[in-house]
Structure 1
């Protein structure tokens, strides 16, 4: 149902290698920028500079996690006669815990989230050169623009803490900041890896059996936590969102819109079709 984070990472590495090979032996036509989007099986990822977790911490992360998943296969309608989001079922997963080459500390990826990994050359001839800082800001501002579309969600950025933060959550929670999209970047010879993870309808409240964020301090940011599009719009508005389809259809919509917005900001055309690969 969901690819493993490791399978997606291996796929990304293959695509990045094509860019690196071109840099070693350039031809007249450089590789075109790509975006890999996916929703992985529940996974906790650790940053490269993070200290090893204790057995107690590992056991906590690997405890069974109950996750709501959509019943229908991709492409089928999952709405009632009033266009409301269709049925889900609950499945239990044992989350994976893996080390990655990104910075930062522990974070979570899983069902209800859209992971978006652009693969592009920061020094490409297709658009003005990007610095590490301007590229990171590009990812954040692309995410902000897409969240302002659809069910409009106002967000803000922080100079201290990367990612995109929900404005209403800060006011509603009495000052507690809630991140709606995480951002992490890895570069090799100016070729990008990793990217953005947008929380669409992942659980962000409840106890540790249901809420994956309750098991750790997200990205090591004490006093801050996660939120999602669903949590920010409210349950009734989420269910009546005019976009037909289940949670999967909405996640697909965000993936497509995010890719279009990134291309628009880079000043390049988007591909006429989406290519689907089975990972893992």
Structure 2
């Protein structure tokens, strides 16, 4: 099978990654592919496929759907906007109101036993008590998404960056790649995590019949990919131990609801294991680094890659650390050559 490379966290205890920093990293990886296409050096090999995985800093991704109160009005206006606007950002119907912006930028409290560092200055030791952080989430408009969602601590995010003109992926469609990522995720959730009563809904992610929520179907993993210039980006977000319940100061989904923004009802691995509470890393049952490692391997194998080894990130991206200035952590690169699982 073809080799690839993975970006993973430098430390076993993860630091949270800004969405904006990861976007810059993605653009750098895309640029390497585009530069090679434009002027391939004689005898040079194209950039290897890359998979980025990380635990995100708090971020709201605002999709195309309007608030619930505006849904009926926009059902006919959105197709018109799509027809006449190449960039739908020109249409104000996709924008958040000032009140919605204020709601989503409400301060969140993060309680974690795993965090190394969240701000530029390290938190003081607290005698074994969870480190407590206060933050204002990033709010990012994503017009290629139908529904809004949240990224944040306690989630495992895996983003492949693949050249769909390569011999391995030539002719693969967006839905084909999306299905491969989804079935790799589904296989991990069912067999790696033991949540058997789980299904894949194409275009909507991985859903489970929740034990906690009385057999209600809830989304446990969001699947979303994007293709531009025949380069695939984004992938899967798995809810592991991120807060789903609780007060507005802790539960990010509360603010989406208060802002009348549509989103999928969600659950998490922790909740389905019967582990309640909002302290990250509080249970010995869940090892976030191990879950991130194994989920990525399942997805890589579903995409056709098999082998993994560590390598220096500076060999892949020049000035790599510049993407993660300000104490937000730095990943490292792993070319897929040697099995580690």
Q: TM-score range by the shorter chain?
A: 0.7 to 0.9
Q: Deviation of residue 43 (structure 1)?
A: 1.1
SS of 1:148's equivalent in the other structure is: helix
Q: Which residue of 2 aligns with 1:260?
A: 297
**Contact 1:38–1:116 at 8 Å: present in 2 too?**
yes
**Contact 2:115–2:131 at 8 Å: present in 1 too?**
no
Q: Deviation of residue 207 (structure 1)?
A: 2.7
Q: Which residue of 2 aligns with 1:9?
A: 23
2:283 corresponds, among 226, 239, 242, to 239
Q: Which residue of 1 aligns with 2:265?
A: 225
- Looking at structure 2, the residues matched to 156 and 219 of structure 1 have their Cα atoms a distance apart, in angstroms, of 25
Structure-to-structure mapping, 1:44-193, within 5 angstroms: 44-47=60-63, 51-71=94-114, 73=116, 88-100=130-142, 102-126=144-168, 129-154=171-196, 155-159=198-202, 161-167=203-209, 169=210, 172-174=212-214, 176-193=216-233
CA offsets per residue over residues 16-58 of structure 1, 9 Å max, x none? Answer: 1111222223455232211111222211122365611111111
- Looking at structure 2, the residues matched to 24 and 193 of structure 1 have their Cα atoms a distance apart, in angstroms, of 20
Matched residues, number:
256
Task: Normalising by structure 2, report the TM-score.
Answer: 0.67
Q: Deviation of residue 176 (structure 1)?
A: 3.4
- Provide structure 2 residue ranges, at least 5 long, that are not aligned to the other structure: 1-14, 65-87, 118-127, 277-281, 314-319, 326-341
CA offsets per residue over residues 224-250 of structure 1, 9 Å max, x none? Answer: 4111111111129x8342xxxxx6xx2
CA offsets per residue over residues 99-131 of structure 1, 9 Å max, x none? Answer: 235322321111111221101123421356421
Task: Normalising by structure 1, report the TM-score.
Answer: 0.80
Determine which structure has greater relative contact order: mean sequence separation of CA pairs < 8 Å that are 6+ residues apart, divided by chain length.
Answer: 2
SS of 1:157's equivalent in the other structure is: strand
Structure index of larger Rg: 2
SS of 1:239's equivalent in the other structure is: coil
- Provide structure 1 residue ranges, at least 5 long, that are not aligned to the other structure: 75-85, 242-246
Q: Deviation of residue 199 (structure 1)?
A: 1.1
SS of 1:108's equivalent in the other structure is: strand
Q: Alignment RMSD, CA only?
A: 2.7
- Looking at structure 2, the residues matched to 134 and 67 of structure 1 have their Cα atoms a distance apart, in angstroms, of 37
Distance of aligned partners of 1:275 and 1:39 in 2 relative to their CA distance in 1, 3 Å threshold: farther
SS of 1:124's equivalent in the other structure is: coil
**Contact 1:102–1:185 at 8 Å: present in 2 too?**
no
Which one is further off, 196-205 or 19-28? 19-28
Q: Deviation of residue 9 (structure 1)?
A: 0.8
Which one is further off, 86-95 or 147-156? 86-95
**Contact 2:181–2:302 at 8 Å: present in 1 too?**
no
Q: Which residue of 2 aligns with 1:210?
A: 250
Q: Deviation of residue 210 (structure 1)?
A: 1.2
- Looking at structure 1, the residues matched to 104 and 96 of structure 2 have their Cα atoms a distance apart, in angstroms, of 10
Q: Deviation of residue 14 (structure 1)?
A: 0.4
Q: Deviation of residue 196 (structure 1)?
A: 1.1
- Looking at structure 1, the residues matched to 269 and 115 of structure 2 have their Cα atoms a distance apart, in angstroms, of 21
- Looking at structure 2, the residues matched to 99 and 275 of structure 1 have their Cα atoms a distance apart, in angstroms, of 33
